[in-house]
Amino acid sequence: MSDSPVEAMKRSSTLTYDGIHRALTDAQRTLAGVDQAVDGIESRLASGYGGDDGIAFLDMVRRWHREFQRINAATARILLVVEHSSQTDAKTLHANMEGVSALAGANVFDGGSHHASNSYDTMMG
């Protein structure tokens, strides 16, 4: 038996947020890995690896490292917004659908309401 349209909308909203959350979490893990790699390169260069060329490269690597840290922080903030929006959206969607059903006096999303059937019978009768 298939879900009602209300349940389908709830599931669709949840799947959308779950997909966004999963993509951001994957991006965050990737960025953390890049950050670790850049940190390792920075450490080697700071210890004198590469001589004068390494020292020149070190400044650029430090800029990369700062940029990756900013990107990581921004990704974490976006992830928090998505998590909050997901929870808020789910609650709002549920409340709105329940409100519509209550106002209609029946589940208007059940594939055909009582009112619609009566109206059709009256028109055709």
Q: What is the pLDDT of residues 74-94, one digit of tens each?
A: 888 888 888 887 777 767 766
Mind giving me the DSSP string for the chain? -PPPHHHHHHHHHHHHHHHHHHHHHHHHHHHHHHHHHHHHHHHHHHTTTTHHHHHHHHHHHHHHHHHHHHHHHHHHHHHHHHHHHHHHHHHHHHHHHHHHHHHHTS-TTSSS-HHHHHHHHHHH-
The answer to whether the predicted template modeling score (pTM) of the entire model surpasses 0.85 is: no
Q: Which residues of the chain have pLDDT under 50?
A: 107-125
Question: How many CB atoms within 10 Å of residue 72?
Answer: 16
For the stretch 33-47, pLDDT in tens is 888 888 888 898 889
